[in-house]
Amino acid sequence: MRAGLLAAAWLAGIQAQETFTAIELDRSEGGALYEARCMGCHGPDGAYGDAGDIAARSVELAGDDLVRVIIGGVAGTAMSPSGLTAFEAGTVAAYLRFVASDRVTGGDAARGREFVSNDGGCLDCHAIDGVGGLIAPDLTGIGSRRRSGQLRDSLLDPNAEVRTEYRFVDARLRDGNTVRGRLLNQDTFSVQLLSMAGRLTAISRADLDALEFIDSPMPSYGDRLTSGALNDVVRYLTTLRP
Ligand code: HEC
Ligand code: HEC
| Per-10-residue mean pLDDT, the chain, length 242 | 49 44 58 94 93 95 93 95 92 93 95 97 96 95 95 92 86 96 94 93 96 94 94 97 90
pLDDT of residue 7: 52
How crowded is the C-beta side of 197, counted as CA atoms within 13 Å? 4
Residue nearest to atom 39 of ligand 2 (CA): 122
The one-letter code for the residue type at 142 is I
Ligand found nearest the CA of 54: 1
Q: Is the CB of 47 under 6 A from ligand 1?
A: no
Residue 51 CB–ligand 1 contact under 6 Å: yes
* Ligand 2 close to Cβ of residue 120 (< 6 A): yes
Question: What pLDDT, on the 0 to 100 scale, is given for residue 161?
Answer: 78
Angle value at C-alpha 179, between 175 and 185, nearest 5 degrees: 115
Rounded to whole angstroms, how far apart are CA atoms 61 and 41? 19
Pick the residue whose CA is nearest to atom 16 on ligand 2. Answer: 162
Cα of 74 vs centre of ligand 1, distance in Å, is: 7
**Closest residue by CA, ligand 2 atom 22:** 154
Using a 10 angstrom Cβ sphere, with 0-12 exposed, 13-18 middle and 19 or more buried, the burial of residue 8 is middle
pLDDT of residue 227: 92
pLDDT of residue 107: 96
What is the whole-number distance in angstroms between the Cα of residue 176 and the centre of ligand 2?
29
Q: What is the pLDDT of residue 182?
A: 95
CA 170 to chain centroid = 26
For ligand 1, atom 36, which residue shows the shortest CA distance? 38
Q: What is the pLDDT of residue 12?
A: 46
